[in-house]
Structure 1
Amino acid sequence: MRDPRALIDTNTLAASLGDPSLRVFDCTTYLEPTPAGSAEPYNAVPGRKTFEDGHVPGADFLDLQGEFSDTDTHLHFMMPSVARLQAAFGRHGIGTGTRPATRVVLYSIGTMMWATRFWWMLRSLGFDDAAVLDGGLDKWKAEGRPLETGAPRGYPPATFAATPREGLFVDAARVKAAIGRRDTVTVNALGPQFHRGLEPSRYGRPGRVPGSVNVPAATLVDPATKGFTTLADAAAKFAAQGISKDKRTICYCGGGISATIDLFLLHQLGHDDITLYDGSMGEWAKTESLPIERD
Structure 2
Amino acid sequence: MRDPQALVDTDELSAALADPNLRIFDCTTYLDRLPPGSGQPYLAVSGRATFQEAHIPGADFLDLEGEFSDQATALHFMMPDVAQLEAAFGRHGIGMDSRVVLYSIGSMTWATRFWWMLKSLGFDNVAVLDGGFDKWRAEGRPTQSGPAQGYPPAPFKASPRPGWFVNKLDVLDAIGKADTAIVNALSPALHAGLDPSSYGRSGRIPGSLNVYGATLVNNESKTFVTLDEANAAFAAQGITKDKRVICYCGGGISATLDLFLLYQLGYTDLSLYDGSMGEWAKDMSLPIEIDG
User: Which residue matches 1:166?
Assistant: 162
- Residue 39 of structure 1 and its aligned partner are, at CA, apart by 1.2
AA in 2 matched with 1:147 = T
User: Which residue matches 1:181?
Assistant: 177
- Residue 35 of structure 1 and its aligned partner are, at CA, apart by 3.3
User: Which residue matches 2:123?
Assistant: 127
AA in 2 matched with 1:60 = D
TM-score w.r.t. length of structure 1: 0.98
Q: 1:287 aligns with which of 268, 272, 283?
A: 283
Equivalent residue runs for 1:40-51 within 5 Å: 40-51=40-51
- Residue 27 of structure 1 and its aligned partner are, at CA, apart by 0.0
Superposition misfits of 4+ residues, deviation over 3 angstroms? none
Secondary structure of residue in 1 paired with 2:65:
helix
TM-score w.r.t. length of structure 2: 0.99
- In 1, Cα distance between the equivalents of 2:178 and 2:220? 37
Gaps of 5+ in 2: none
AA in 1 matched with 2:87 = A
- In 1, Cα distance between the equivalents of 2:40 and 2:230? 33
- In 2, Cα distance between the equivalents of 1:48 and 1:120? 21
User: Which residue matches 2:148?
Assistant: 152
User: Which residue matches 1:19?
Assistant: 19
Secondary structure of residue in 1 paired with 2:230:
helix
- In 1, Cα distance between the equivalents of 2:243 and 2:91? 38
Q: Alpha-carbon deviations, 1:120-139, whole Å to 9, x = none?
A: 00000000000000000000
- Residue 102 of structure 1 and its aligned partner are, at CA, apart by 0.6
Secondary structure of residue in 2 paired with 1:132:
strand
What number of residue pairs does the alignment pair up?
Answer: 291
User: Which residue matches 1:267?
Assistant: 263
- In 2, Cα distance between the equivalents of 1:121 and 1:216? 21
| 1:199 is aligned to 2:228 | no
AA in 1 matched with 2:226 = T
- In 2, Cα distance between the equivalents of 1:2 and 1:266? 10
User: Which residue matches 1:233?
Assistant: 229
- In 2, Cα distance between the equivalents of 1:33 and 1:215? 23
State, as a whole percentage, how many aligned pairs show the same letter: 68
AA in 1 matched with 2:183 = V
- In 2, Cα distance between the equivalents of 1:115 and 1:243? 24
Secondary structure of residue in 2 paired with 1:24:
strand
Secondary structure of residue in 2 paired with 1:67:
coil
Q: Alpha-carbon deviations, 1:4-52, whole Å to 9, x = none?
A: 1010000000011121100000000000112332111111111011101
Gaps of 5+ in 1: none
Secondary structure of residue in 1 paired with 2:78:
coil
Aligned CA RMSD, in angstroms, stands at 0.6
